[in-house]
Chain A
Amino acid sequence: MNDDAPFQPDRALFERWRSHESVAADPPAELDPMLLAAYLDGRLDEPGSAPLERLLQADPAALDDLIDCRTHPVGPEIASAAFLRNAQALIPSDHAASTATVLPFQPRPAAPRRMTAWAAWGAVAASLILISLVGFNVGMQTERNINGATGIGTSIDILDQSTTLLGDGVG
Chain B
Amino acid sequence: MTGEREDLSGLLAGNKAAWDSFVARFAGLILAAVRRVVGSDGIDVEDIAQDVFVRLCKNDFRLLRQYDPTRAGLSTWLTIVSRSVAHDTLRRRRPQTQTIDVTPEAAFAVEPSITEKVKIPDGLLSPRQQLVLTMLYERDMEVAEIAAMLSIDAQTVRSTHHKAMLKLRAHFGEKP
Contact = CB atoms under 8 A, between A and B. Distances in A.
Given A21-B120, A53-B128, A90-B57, A40 B134 contact: no
Contact of A22 (B122, B126, B168): B122
A91 interface: yes
A84 B27 contact: yes
Contact of A51 (B15, B73, B127, B171): B127
Given A54-B127, A90-B57, A41 B14 contact: no
Give the interface size class of chain B: 35 or more
Nearest to B126: A50
Interface stretch (A69-77, A106-114, A133-141, A153-161): A69-77
Contacts of B76: 37, 40-41
A33 B83 CA distance: 10
B19 A40 contact: no
Contacts of A53: 127-128, 130-131, 150
Nearest to B165: A10
Interface in A35-73: 36-43, 46, 49-54, 56-57, 61, 63, 65-70, 72-73
Contacts of B80: 33, 36-37, 40, 69
A92 B131 contact: no
Contacts of B20: 88, 91
Contacts of B143: 1-2
Contacts of A75: 29, 32
Nearest to B152: A46
B114 A76 contact: no
Interface residues of A, number: 66
Interface of A: 1-2, 7, 10-11, 13-25, 31, 33-34, 36-43, 46, 49-54, 56-57, 61, 63, 65-70, 72-80, 83-84, 86-88, 90-94, 97
A87 B50 contact: yes
Contacts, number: 187
A20 B119 contact: yes
10 contacts: A19-B114, A19-B116, A40-B1, A49-B150, A63-B131, A77-B29, A83-B49, A84-B23, A91-B16, A91-B20
A79 to B, nearest CB: 4
A92 B14 CA distance: 9
Given A1-B143, A13-B165, A73 B121 contact: no
Given A13-B174, A65-B83, A83-B27, A1 B136 contact: yes
- Which 10 A-B pairs have CB atoms at the shortest separation, nearest pair first? A76-B28, A37-B72, A54-B127, A79-B27, A53-B127, A74-B32, A24-B122, A37-B77, A91-B19, A38-B71
